[in-house]
Structure 1
Amino acid sequence: MLTGNVVDSVGNHIDVFEAVLLRADSSLVNGNIFSGGKFSIRIDAKEIRLLKISSLEYEERYVTLPTHMQTSSESTDTVNMGTIILTNSNNSLGEVSVTARRPVVKLTGSSYKVDVAESYLKDAGDFNDIMRRIPGVFVDPKGTIAVMGKPRLLVFLNGRQLRNNSELGTLKSSDIKSVEIDRNPSAAYSASSDAVIRITTVDAVQDYIRLVAYNKTSFSRTLSNRSTFSLKGKNERLNYFANTGFDTQGLKQYDAEDRNVWIDTDSIITHRRSTLWQRNNTFFLRSSLEYAFTPKHLVGIGYNMSLTNGDMDKEQDFTNISAKTSPENIYSVSDNLSKTKTHNPFVFYIGNFGKNTLETYFDYYRSVLDNRQNITENGSNNVWQSFADTYSIVGAVIDLSVPTRFVNLRMGIKLSYMSDKGVYTASTQSEQHTMREDDTHAGYLILSRNIKKFSLSSGLRAEHEYSKLYGYHNSYTDTTYLNFFPSLSIGYTGGGIRSNLSYSRRIYRPTYSQISPKNIYIDPLSYSVGNPSLQSTLVDIFNLSLQKGNLYLSLSHERYSNIRAQVSLLDTTTVPSRIKFTYANIPQAYNLKAYLMYSYDIKLLKGSLTALVTSSSMKYRDVVYAKPQDLSVYLKANAEATLWRGASVMLSLYYINSHYNNLIYSEGYFNTSLYITQRLLKDNLTIAIGAEDIFKTYNPNNWRQQMS
């Protein structure tokens, strides 16, 4: 047991403060909030190095524990740390509300920050286990992360943009300090993104070295396993980290899909039932070195790489009903083999010059994919196709923050060059070569100031892009863009309510596959082809948000120009007729969105509720596809309760109603999942049991479309 007193600089007891025990790498062991100037903490773990004392309006204090307490947790003696003095902080606070329970989610304007290191989430498991518990975020069975209503996502780890989000798979909940979700990014971020996730890992405050062997085994219809070995530590000014391992991920999935496409009097109705087996084997390495020349100047280098071999087998039954031909059944078997190699070296520098902060990041990312698919239809018709793709990007970022007496300035320059070279070969056509090059230069300036209860911010981002798409014998697009993206925000805090009114402009550029004119086989009844004439989408967003406590509500109006939409057409030149997927621009569309989020932590029960309601208006070639009164509704709710020491149960619900998504009408569905977790052996062993889609109601592939 560890006890002691906490006083201020003149000897008065501090009424409310937090006392926590830390390892050398600053990871949290245990602690609590105390009152009356006294604390008493139970010691039940080894490798404890530090006692951290903190309180509002005071500087944090770190106290090194006696040596015998750092190496053993067996002693039953009570150790008195004496009187610990906290000095006043130079930062003055306005409205302060102190409660006995630390909030997990902190809301600030358009973003919300999740405290991981000092909450129950530190024992959640890996990164995906944390994200399942964060409101407004979805994690699918393959581990893909999405933000509700925000499909264009950027992820940053300690200020560095991730080129491959699989890097997140190596993070454990004990490594993470906080996760911040920004639903309305500032001008500092690419105008083609509409959401940003910022992840911050824990900082070490003392020298240490730690070797960790980690293994995670799971079974969901098939076996998956991840084995990793990591080395991390701090030696005076040097921080180092290396993580390597082997990951084998298995997936067995049953799927059903219904499509209904018609043009005037001709129509196709297809039904598909499939069983999919997938196995990906990945070897990976993540490493970094950071060196602080002085406490205010830090330089770092790193290298990430991965090698993945994939094997996917699929059995599918198709039923095709056409208005002009008799029904036809097709049985398809496919085998897909793939190899992917990625390399990602990077360097960075962070310097503090007085109150000014300079951050620079340089990186190179290269991904090489080799994929071959063999398909057999009705036991006789053999189809094969192969993809060879080399994607590379070079990026440089320079950010400068300059707080002044009158206004806070933030400015930056971002440069990138991207190339994507693809070769597509199929049994039904000749070899197709395409290459896309993008050369982008961007600069931004943000001015912000607080005036009493008001906060004002304005920004301007300029992006110049040269984009070219070409093949061996012809050029499909050769375009230069220069766009300006203004933003404005006005906030007010009063009466316990924080309000914010903002405007921003964004651009959503076509992807490589959307403009590449390759004819890609999908299945016996459909294929896709890109549209080289596809234009970028511009969107103007007006947003009003209100926040009180753990309740957050926002209303936004979005006006789209040249919105991109997937178009389904009938190809009647083949027998049977097939569905042709391509893309087109719609001149204008409007969305009105209401977003609500609430998080709670009541005794043994904690969780969150998130809702997004969208009213859309869209017309294409004089046909109305979405009406304002036809609302789309997304709901996510999760509740987690403690069963006994080290054991918890979480229930998760996701629901979406039937609605229009651009030109496609999607049927509604919901997904209910249950997770039970038990931690043993002083949290070194975790046993988790999960049941996904308990009622077998998850079916996102039912849709229909009418084109004239």
Structure 2
Amino acid sequence: MKKLLLLTLCLMVKSLSMQAQTISGKLIDEHKQPIGFANIVVLSLPDSAFVAGTISDEQGKFVFDKVNQDQSEKLIQISCLGYESLHQHVVTGDVGVLSLRSSAIMLGETVITGRRPTYSLKGASLTTNVENTLLSSLGTAHDVLKRIPGLKTGDGTVEVFGKGTPIIYINGRKIRDLSELEELNSRDIAKIELITNPGAEYDAEVKSVLRIKTVRRTGEGWGGNVRSMLQKGRLWSNNQQLALNYRKNNLDIFGSFYYNKQKRKTGQEDLQTVYTDKLLEIDGDSESPYSTENIQGEGGANYQLNENNSLGVRYTYNYYSSDSHVYSLFRVRENNLDFDKFDFTNAMDGSGETHKVNAYYNGVWGRQLNVDFNVDWLYSDNDTRQNIMENSMNEEDRTVHSVSGSRNNLYACKLVFSHPVFAGILQFGTEISLTNRHSHYVNEEQIMNDAFDKITSCNQ
């Protein structure tokens, strides 16, 4: 009996502990209707760092398990297209029913009108309809991904909640450079499918997949678009894009030019206190201006053999350069007395180019045998120069110059067959990639040893 009581008590304590680490709630609109497929993000305080993310289900409910084991106050951030964002401080437990207010969608100074996107959830696959919805007016594919349930986007990054970085396909073609998302106009997107439990046709290391399908254009002759954007933070940034295409019968020939110039400037203040046998206080200020420039040209052709079979080829050239300059000043006090003062300067610039070729075939053989074939070649070449200077009142000054770079070749081929079998789908095929990489690091002062590496890998 004592053992039974002890076991029951342990289970109760464990249950209470798990409940104390859980954050849950429900979302509704002004008409008391549940809001499904909203993004809910938990942020730490006071730095607002990302802790976890999830989406509400079709009943508007959401839950985070074991997200706040330290029992500290957190901030939940709720966002959904067509509603005002909501922020609320929480610790643990059920936050109850939260109501979101409808809002007009703003793009710059323009109010976007239209219907909200529709969602379709099938197993571990969430499909968002983009065509003829509010999402189609946002600008670029990257702008659309910012509002897709289950995704977290940053400056040139895309992550899936709990799954890390996904692999991304556009019309069955795997993209290897996220800058393509800035070149794809949101009006050209039909739908986006997010797969959080990929099947056997993907590599075992792939945790999530994004599949973007574009709108099939009709009509013949010349077409094109020009897009320009200017942004102002602490510094000015801009990008321009020109795209042209020619369609005749089932042939589509296209080309584009893309230019992007980004300038940023950040500052940071730090105060660290270290308690040992002496009291050390380190007060630091840093400033980090940097700029990047990206130039990209692309051309290719698609040919529709018939309703179920198409093939194409695409070539992309990309050049980039970057320049950053980090300056930091640190003041050290020991037992409330000035001990040292030193500054740190890190100047870095780099440039590189990339060549990419893709050829594909997608089709249906017979009545139901689907074929997906892709061949890719990629070559990249980049170099980075870095100069570090350290000046101290009490220690020896030091300067470090280094040059690093790499040359990469990638060859990849993927062939997948799929056929319906009873209530499921039978898939078989192969994916092969060959990578050659040469890298080097040279330090002029020989503080660090020079390094020259060559890596060849083959995956199947």
TM-score bracket for this pair, using the shorter chain length: 0.5 to 0.7
Which residue is equivalent to 1:185? 198
2-structure distance, mates of 1:350, 1:247: 32
2-structure distance, mates of 1:198, 1:330: 51
Q: Residue type of the partner of 2:368? A: K
Q: 1:146 to 1:261 in 2, by over 3 A?
A: farther
2:415 aligned with 1:398: yes
Which residue is equivalent to 2:176? 163
Q: 1:207 to 1:259 in 2, by over 3 A?
A: farther
Give 1:202's match in structure 2, choosing from 206, 215, 218. 215
Deviation of residue 207 (structure 1)? Answer: 2.5
Answer yes or no: is the 8 Å Cα contact 2:158–2:165 preserved in 1.
no
Please state whether the residue corresponding to 2:263 is helix, strand or coil. strand
2:164 aligned with 1:151: yes
Answer yes or no: is the 8 Å Cα contact 1:179–1:198 preserved in 2.
yes
Q: 1:280 to 1:179 in 2, by over 3 A?
A: same
Q: Residue type of the partner of 1:417? A: L
2:261 aligned with 1:248: yes
Which residue is equivalent to 2:381? 368
Deviation of residue 400 (structure 1)? Answer: 0.7
Deviation per residue, 1:84-118 (Å, 9 max, x gap): xxxxxxxxxxxxxxxx9765332222221221112
Q: 1:407 to 1:307 in 2, by over 3 A?
A: closer
Please state whether the residue corresponding to 2:199 is helix, strand or coil. coil
Which residue is equivalent to 1:433? 452
In the alignment, structure 1 segments of 5+ residues that lack a partner are 1-99, 442-708
1-structure distance, mates of 2:456, 2:274: 35
Deviation per residue, 1:202-236 (Å, 9 max, x gap): 11233243121211111111111111110124211
2-structure distance, mates of 1:406, 1:363: 33
Deviation per residue, 1:346-371 (Å, 9 max, x gap): 11112211211111000011111100
Deviation of residue 149 (structure 1)? Answer: 2.2
Please state whether the residue corresponding to 2:132 is helix, strand or coil. coil
Deviation of residue 288 (structure 1)? Answer: 2.4
1-structure distance, mates of 2:280, 2:153: 33
Q: 1:407 to 1:168 in 2, by over 3 A?
A: closer
Deviation of residue 127 (structure 1)? Answer: 2.1
Answer yes or no: is the 8 Å Cα contact 1:272–1:318 preserved in 2.
yes
Please state whether the residue corresponding to 1:122 is helix, strand or coil. helix
Q: 1:387 to 1:296 in 2, by over 3 A?
A: same
2:355 aligned with 1:343: yes
Which residue is equivalent to 2:252? 239
Please state whether the residue corresponding to 2:449 is helix, strand or coil. strand
Q: Residue type of the partner of 2:202? A: Y
2:129 aligned with 1:110: no
Q: 1:145 to 1:102 in 2, by over 3 A?
A: closer
Deviation of residue 437 (structure 1)? Answer: 2.0
Answer yes or no: is the 8 Å Cα contact 2:194–2:210 preserved in 1.
yes
Q: Residue type of the partner of 1:222? A: L
Deviation per residue, 1:291-330 (Å, 9 max, x gap): 123333322100111011111111123467999xx96443
Q: Residue type of the partner of 2:146? A: R
Answer yes or no: is the 8 Å Cα contact 1:268–1:320 preserved in 2.
yes
The total of aligned residue pairs comes to 338
Give 2:323's match in structure 1, choosing from 311, 321, 324. 311
Deviation of residue 162 (structure 1)? Answer: 1.2
1-structure distance, mates of 2:279, 2:216: 61
How do 1:645-664 and structure 2 match up within 5 A? none
2:201 aligned with 1:214: no
Q: Residue type of the partner of 2:164? A: P
Answer yes or no: is the 8 Å Cα contact 2:183–2:258 preserved in 1.
no
1-structure distance, mates of 2:441, 2:417: 43
Which residue is equivalent to 1:274? 286
Give the TM-score normalised by the residue count of structure 2. Answer: 0.67
Q: 1:409 to 1:342 in 2, by over 3 A?
A: same
Q: 1:406 to 1:332 in 2, by over 3 A?
A: closer
Answer yes or no: is the 8 Å Cα contact 1:152–1:192 preserved in 2.
no
Answer yes or no: is the 8 Å Cα contact 2:156–2:178 preserved in 1.
no
2-structure distance, mates of 1:343, 1:261: 50
1-structure distance, mates of 2:138, 2:330: 42
Give the TM-score normalised by the residue count of structure 1. Answer: 0.44
Two-structure CA RMSD over aligned residues (Å): 2.9
2:242 aligned with 1:229: yes
Please state whether the residue corresponding to 2:182 is helix, strand or coil. helix
Which residue is equivalent to 2:346? 334
Whose strand fraction is larger, Structure 1's or Structure 2's? 1
Give 2:145's match in structure 1, choosing from 112, 126, 131. 131
Deviates more, 1:111-120 or 1:337-346: 111-120
Answer yes or no: is the 8 Å Cα contact 1:253–1:276 preserved in 2.
yes
Please state whether the residue corresponding to 1:215 is helix, strand or coil. strand
In the alignment, structure 2 segments of 5+ residues that lack a partner are 1-113
Deviation per residue, 1:58-101 (Å, 9 max, x gap): xxxxxxxxxxxxxxxxxxxxxxxxxxxxxxxxxxxxxxxxxx97
Please state whether the residue corresponding to 2:181 is helix, strand or coil. helix
Answer yes or no: is the 8 Å Cα contact 2:117–2:134 preserved in 1.
no
1-structure distance, mates of 2:406, 2:272: 30
Give 1:385's match in structure 2, choosing from 395, 402, 417. 402
Answer yes or no: is the 8 Å Cα contact 1:159–1:198 preserved in 2.
yes
1-structure distance, mates of 2:176, 2:282: 37
Which residue is equivalent to 1:639? none
2-structure distance, mates of 1:390, 1:277: 28
Answer yes or no: is the 8 Å Cα contact 2:273–2:280 preserved in 1.
yes
2:300 aligned with 1:288: yes
How do 1:665-680 and structure 2 match up within 5 A? none
Q: 1:132 to 1:307 in 2, by over 3 A?
A: same
Which residue is equivalent to 2:107? none
Q: Residue type of the partner of 2:308? A: K
Deviates more, 1:398-407 or 1:367-376: 398-407
Answer yes or no: is the 8 Å Cα contact 2:438–2:453 preserved in 1.
yes
2-structure distance, mates of 1:328, 1:153: 47
2-structure distance, mates of 1:259, 1:180: 46
